Structure 1
């Protein structure tokens, strides 16, 4: 709550609107790229007792999460050229500049589901 107040006051109305639109686009597009993969990985971990299989599932989920992150980032980069024209804004350049960092955005959701699946609540609390 305090961070929101500070961001709102420091950015001002116009730049806060750009910031909000950026967050909305990144979050909305992110919904389509998760498509239940991370939920499924967490559920598989809940029902697995074999330590070796748990490690394989976590490794596979991370690789899949990175692939999803790369595709997500590429999609945002390509669509950023059309976002400005369609919505009459200048958020596209911001998305292009941050697209490499956005590779890791889906991993946040992966880590939360994996920590639930492995019953490692301390990792979930850190996230």
Structure 2
């Protein structure tokens, strides 16, 4: 059975999904102090919910697993499933290793690029 990852990004004004999970601890005192928690993404396991109090120099593992579907990092489409980072290809399929080729075609072989030559005249551009 194939699993399709979400193809739509969250709106720009929505908080990051990991940040949303950290914010649930804003109202819970930590060692007697309330903090505003933000994601800490430099911990070894990207699928743990590690958060850092804003303005402080420490982080805390609030949960052993983030919610399924949370991105493993900002550089890839990979997502956490049951605490393990799983690949998501450019075809948005969970478990896929499909990558964009040099022409930016998903799972392509680089043969669809078109070379355009000539001189670009900025004064004659049409809008």
TM range (shorter): under 0.3
Structure of greater Rg: 2
Choose between structure 1 and 2: higher helix proportion: 1
Q: With the length of structure 2 as denominator, give the TM-score of the two structures.
A: 0.27
Higher RCO, 1 or 2 (CA under 8 Å, sep at least 6)?
1
